[in-house]
């Protein structure tokens, strides 16, 4: 009978499970730290933030919509804002959903629908009810938004701490 030396050293499935568990925990912890850093960079303030700095929060919606999740198929973590229900329009006046976080992070143009409240005063249209817009003048206006990054700076700030989460993370069960 021939002895198999591989059996003497490692229980391969057990080691793989320990490494997978450690990867999931470490990456989830890193994702949580990056999410927290991004959320705290968005301060509650009136007015518009300066280009190049994180956006200001007026209602707290953007801060609440930043999530993280571990993707077991890719073995990675995804951190970022969820798609929003805000409706904007592309340059062909077709509705586009969920563009606000991307435009804030990278900058760009969006087209907003405005309604005339009284002669000469335009405000953003409430698209939840078409009846509110019935009989009122509307217009589409293109708005250029300067970049106000909040996710990339959060990742850069936490980048050096990620190896710390991996240290001593693989342990025997």
pLDDT in tens, 49-95: 999 999 998 888 889 999 999 998 998 999 999 877 666 666 676 77
pLDDT tens track for 115-129: 888 898 998 887 766
Place of tokens 């405005």: 114
Say how far apart CA 151 and CA 37 lie, in whole Å. 9
Sign of CA dihedral 143, 146, 147, 148: negative
**Contact assessment for residue 123 and residue 115, using Cβ atoms and an 8 Å cutoff:** yes
167 within domain boundaries: no
77 within domain boundaries: yes
Kindly state the percentage of the chain with pLDDT values over 90. 37
> In this predicted structure, what is the pLDDT of residue 156?
95
168 within domain boundaries: no
6 within domain boundaries: no
168 falls in which pLDDT band (50, 70, 90)? Answer: confident
129 torsion bin: left (phi>0), alpha (psi -120 to 50), beta (else)? beta
- Number of domains comprising the chain: 1
Domain that holds residue 118: 11-160
Core vs surface per residue 138-147: b (16+ CB within 10 A) or e = eeeeeeebee
**Closest residue by Cα to residue 46 from 36, 54, 56, 55:** 56
142 within domain boundaries: yes
Q: Which residue would you say has higher pLDDT here, 126 or 157?
A: 157
Q: Calculate the average pLDDT of the chain.
A: 84
2 within domain boundaries: no
4 within domain boundaries: no
Core vs surface per residue 17-48: b (16+ CB within 10 A) or e = ebeeebbeebbebbbebbbebbbebbeeeeee
Residue 16, pLDDT above cutoff 60: yes
> In this predicted structure, what is the pLDDT of residue 8?
62
82 within domain boundaries: yes
Residue 34, pLDDT above cutoff 90: yes
């Amino acid at each position: 009978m021939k002895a198999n030396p591989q059996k003497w050293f490692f229980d391969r499935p057990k080691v793989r499970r320990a490494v997978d568990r450690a990867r999931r925990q470490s990456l989830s912890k890193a994702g949580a730290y990056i999410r927290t850093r991004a959320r705290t960079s968005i301060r509650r303030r009136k007015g518009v933030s300066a280009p190049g700095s994180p956006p200001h929060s007026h209602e707290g919606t953007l801060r609440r919509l930043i999530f993280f999740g571990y993707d077991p198929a890719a073995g990675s973590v995804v951190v970022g804002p969820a798609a929003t229900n805000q409706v904007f329009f592309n340059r062909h006046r077709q509705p586009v959903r969920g563009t606000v976080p991307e435009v804030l992070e990278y900058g760009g143009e969006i087209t907003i629908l405005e309604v005339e409240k009284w002669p000469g005063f335009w405000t953003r249209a409430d698209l939840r009810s078409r009846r509110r817009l019935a009989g009122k003048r509307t217009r589409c206006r293109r708005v250029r938004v300067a970049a106000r990054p909040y996710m990339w700076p959060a990742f850069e700030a936490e980048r050096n701490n990620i190896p710390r989460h991996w240290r001593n993370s693989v342990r025997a069960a």
